[in-house]
Structure 1
Amino acid sequence: METTEKKYSSKDFHRTFARPNYEKVGKLIHRDVEHSGEHDQFSTERKHPVFFVDLPTKNVSMTLGGLLPGQVTNRHRHTYETILFVIEGSGWTEIEGERVEWKAGDAVYIPCWAWHSHGNLSGKGRARYIACENAPQLQNLGVALREEEGRDL
């Protein structure tokens, strides 16, 4: 069955309704996220393992990020906001030159278009976090940008 997504223009403003409609989606759960595969390209660019949560959301995304002992990511920035929730280990995030240290149970906010990187403080154990972002919303609007330091300059 082919689905055609309706594209609206300024002449369709009157079609904005007071009550949204529920749209049944094909997937409500992504089981065992870390065992469904690391995202190779993204993990290579960031220099740490990244696992995408594959669900049909149009406004927010979630990934599982991991840092191996002593590992530091590339500096990067993007037009979407990020909140990290640390689930294991300890480390740091540097945001526009300001370093904040974190541990399991902490949450870190990364503002839009701020240069940032992450590092694991432990030389023995890994660090893991959940990253929630509004990237799909901006991608659907055509205004999402991501820049890796040294690659896109």
Structure 2
Amino acid sequence: MAKLETVKPGTEIVTAIHEEQKQFSSKDFHQTFARPQFVRPSHLVHKNVEQAGVHNQFSAERKHPVFFVNLPSKNVSMTIGGLLPGQLTNRHRHTYETVLYVISGKGWTEIENERIEWEAGDAVYIPSWAWHRHQNVSDTEPAKYIACENAPQLQNLGVALREEEGRDL
């Protein structure tokens, strides 16, 4: 059942009316049929990500600039990260997977003591729970990348962990 609402003349939004969800237990597994449903989030685009500003607490904690792409995904996240000239991040690991797409610069990522060199146009995969860190090899130019992670999915399941070497051990 759907209800039609008029927001302003000429525009309409369809609002779905949901039946109350039954709570299932393990004995009801055979009754938990998939019922996919489109739910339109509040926004589908996040404009001018970098102009919205560095997320100071997160950037300070990671010791390099980070910009969130604030989309309503419950499964994947995207950030724009940067490494200042010559910058080396702390070794860390997390339970979520990461794919870095390098937008600009040159550097390396150390994954479990194996150094992977990268430059603009490369994609780097970081497996879950692998110790890693990143280094910008230029002393004059910053490096920039897009990081995509399945962190929200694991956070929603209550199993997302992040550990910084020397701080969390």
Confirm or deny a common fold (TM above 0.5): yes
**Of 98, 113, 119, the match for 2:114:** 98
* Alpha-carbon offset, residue 99 of structure 1: 0.5
In terms of Rg, which structure is larger?
A: 2
Q: Which residue of 2 aligns with 1:126?
A: 142
Amino acid in structure 1 at the alignment position of 2:138: S
Q: Which residue of 2 aligns with 1:3?
A: none
Gaps of 5+ in 1: 1-5
Kindly tell me: are residues 7 and 60 of structure 1, through their superposed partners in 2, closer, same or farther at Cα, counting changes over 3 Å? farther
Amino acid in structure 2 at the alignment position of 1:15: T
State whether structure 2 residue 5 is matched by structure 1 residue 16: no
When normalised by structure 2's length, the TM-score is 0.82
When normalised by structure 1's length, the TM-score is 0.91
**1:103-151: per-residue Cα shift (whole Å, max 9, x none)?**
0000000000011000101111110000000000000000000111111
Identity %, equivalent residues = 71
2: distance between equivalents of 1:62 and 1:38?
A: 14
**1:4-62: per-residue Cα shift (whole Å, max 9, x none)?**
xx695435642332x51111110100011011121222211221101111010000000
Query: 1:38-57 alignment to 2 at 5 Å?
Result: 38-57=54-73
Query: 1:50-65 alignment to 2 at 5 Å?
Result: 50-65=66-81
Gaps of 5+ in 2: 1-20
Aligned 8 A contact 1:83 1:108 in 2: yes
Aligned 8 A contact 1:45 1:74 in 2: no
Aligned length: 148
CA RMSD of superposed structures (Å): 1.7
Q: Post-superposition, which runs of at least 4 consecutive aligned residues in structure 1 deviate over 2 A?
A: 6-13
